[in-house]
Structure 1
Amino acid sequence: VNWIYPITIVLYSLSVFCYFIDFLQNNRKVNRVAFWLLSVVWLLQTGYFIIRAISLGQVLAISSLDGLFFYAWTVVTVSLVINWYFRVDFIVFFTNLVGFAMLAFSLFPRNIDRLEALHSLLSLELLLIHISFIFLSYAAFTLAFAYSIMYVIQHQMLKRKKWGKRLQRFGSLTSLDKMAFIFTMIGAPLLLIGIIQGYIWATVQLDEFQWFDPKVLSSFLTLLIYLVYLYNRVVKHKQGYGFALLNIAGFLVLCINYFLSSQYTSFHLW
């Protein structure tokens, strides 16, 4: 049943991501996708317990692995019931943030004996997932950066009254601002999930997690900038030229994070 773990963590990550989008945008279609992804996660978790019961003659062993996995299964079960009968979507989102963290930590429990093959498999799978989510977030932030650059250029052209066909090809400021927001909204949770998974992997593979590693610090700074941007857009309903510049600043920090801090990191290869 080793294959259940990486598949479950990927699907759970996608479900939390969709709930995050719905939380920001009140998108019912995305909410339904999140619900069905969560349902598949529940089926996988339940299947794990059934297979374990058949093969070992017991559902749970007394270990932190089974405790955290069962906790995550309970959270998912309650979330599905709430989402199906009560439609309290934000409760489902915040609850599953915790549930996802518990499930992720259940992959690498401490102070218990695990088979070396399982440990290697899960380490590799989580590292690949971590890298994938990070680079997907980079792609989203790149698009947000492009739209923000276009916003700034068009804003300056309008300010200087440079009319013409080139100005028309940029599209409206409103549409540029909206697209920058959408791609930032996609990139931020992807980056957050990638950081969480990277931390879990590092705590297992490294003797000591390097909190003050340049790569780690710059990653947190990048995430903070984009979260500040989203907070002002979603909560305070602020937008415009200043926030386009903030989005650009976030991408520049991201570039520093990738190209410069990588030269001084003690454990990152990229």
Structure 2
Amino acid sequence: MLTQDWLTDAVLYVYALSLLFFASDAASGSRSARKAGTGLLVFVWVLQTIFLILLLIQRFSVAELSLKDFLFFVSWLLVSLSFLVNRWLRAELLVLFVNVVGFAVLAMNLLQRPHRNFVLSSWEAAKRLLVVHIGLITVSFAVLTVAAILGGMYLFLHERLKKKRWTPVLSRMPSLELIDRYAFRAGLIGVPLLFLSLSTGTAALLLDGRARSLLDEKVLLSFAAGILYVVYLLRRTASGDDGTKVARWNLIGYALLVAAFFANSVSAFHRWM
């Protein structure tokens, strides 16, 4: 057993099996593989949703968040987003990549690791703001993850087309225009959510009289990522750069966001790893 719970193992195994079916669909366009993968993924999503509801009931009234809770919510969001992608885009490789990331996040969450909590202060006004902050940053992170995956797909497909290295798998990918358009739309959703989360977190710190914490490395990296994303959106809107440059701005912004997420060793707070 990977974990100490048979149901947890079942979720991981079924999720992994669904990825194999999605990989088969992406490679060969097998409708039966797509249906099997989607069915298994629905089963995983239903179990995740039940776990999430129980988690929210347990945690919602308590100003406490663990890394495992955060990763579980991100994984659930990625699975949910993959359903929307599969419904509206019909982009098999994108669905596969989103679910690969979702599986990795879920595995990090469920496998045995030290359980340490990110404890929030108990004052009422700031606590409510921090609950909103956590919700917004989680949704933003999931949406911007999809945008980054699309950016990576754009650079990969552009490079293959430039070198005329066409393969049957590439025919399963959406066009460069579609990838760029949906990456931009994901950015239009994720970036405002990111800034809303940063603003609510800032307000909570100011209410607690901890303005100096705004100079924390993790906070500064998050704001830097937000600024880079704004540059990405502006350059994409102005169309002053070609698609590859815009995609690189997208990926650089996401890299900074991930760096901020894991910058716990130098952070004065947000210690949850």
Give TM-score, length-normalised by structure 2: 0.52
Task: Report if aligned partners of 1:137, 1:190 keep a CA contact under 8 Å in 2.
Answer: yes
Deviation at 1:235, TM superposition (A): 3.7
Partner of 1:263: 265
Structure 1 residue runs of 4 or more that deviate by more than 6 Å after TM superposition: none
**Residues 194/236 of structure 1: CA separation in 2 closer, same or farther (3 Å cut):** same
Partner of 1:145: 148
Q: Give the letter aligned to residue 172 of structure 1.
A: S
Task: Report if aligned partners of 2:136, 2:196 keep a CA contact under 8 Å in 1.
Answer: yes
Rounded to whole Å, the distance in 2 between the matches of 1:148 and 1:207 is 37
2:258 is the alignment partner of 1:248: no
**Residues 201/252 of structure 1: CA separation in 2 closer, same or farther (3 Å cut):** same
Q: Give the letter aligned to residue 264 of structure 2.
A: S
Q: Give the letter aligned to residue 228 of structure 2.
A: I
What's the RMSD between the two structures over aligned residues?
A: 1.7
Rounded to whole Å, the distance in 2 between the matches of 1:174 and 1:168 is 14
Taking the TM superposition and a 5 Å limit, the aligned residue runs for 1:216-255 are 216-236=219-239, 238-255=241-258
Q: Deviations over 1:170-200 (max 9, x none)?
A: 1100000011101111111001111110011
2:176 is the alignment partner of 1:160: no
Q: Deviations over 1:115-166 (max 9, x none)?
A: xxxx933222111001111111111110000001111110111011112211
2:215 is the alignment partner of 1:178: no
Rg comparison, structure with higher value: 1
Deviation at 1:212, TM superposition (A): 2.2
Query: Which ranges of structure 2 fall in alignment gaps of 5 or more residues?
Result: 1-121
Partner of 1:192: 195
Partner of 2:58: none
Rounded to whole Å, the distance in 1 between the matches of 2:153 and 2:210 is 45
2:133 is the alignment partner of 1:130: yes
2:206 to 181, 194, 203: 203
Q: Deviations over 1:86-113 (max 9, x none)?
A: xxxxxxxxxxxxxxxxxxxxxxxxxxxx
Q: Deviations over 1:11-53 (max 9, x none)?
A: xxxxxxxxxxxxxxxxxxxxxxxxxxxxxxxxxxxxxxxxxxx
**Residues 250/131 of structure 1: CA separation in 2 closer, same or farther (3 Å cut):** same
Task: Report if aligned partners of 2:202, 2:214 keep a CA contact under 8 Å in 1.
Answer: no
Query: Which ranges of structure 1 fall in alignment gaps of 5 or more residues?
Result: 1-118
Task: Report if aligned partners of 1:177, 1:239 keep a CA contact under 8 Å in 2.
Answer: no
Partner of 1:162, secondary structure, is coil
**Residues 143/150 of structure 1: CA separation in 2 closer, same or farther (3 Å cut):** same
- Counting aligned pairs with the same residue, the percent is 32
Paired residue total: 151
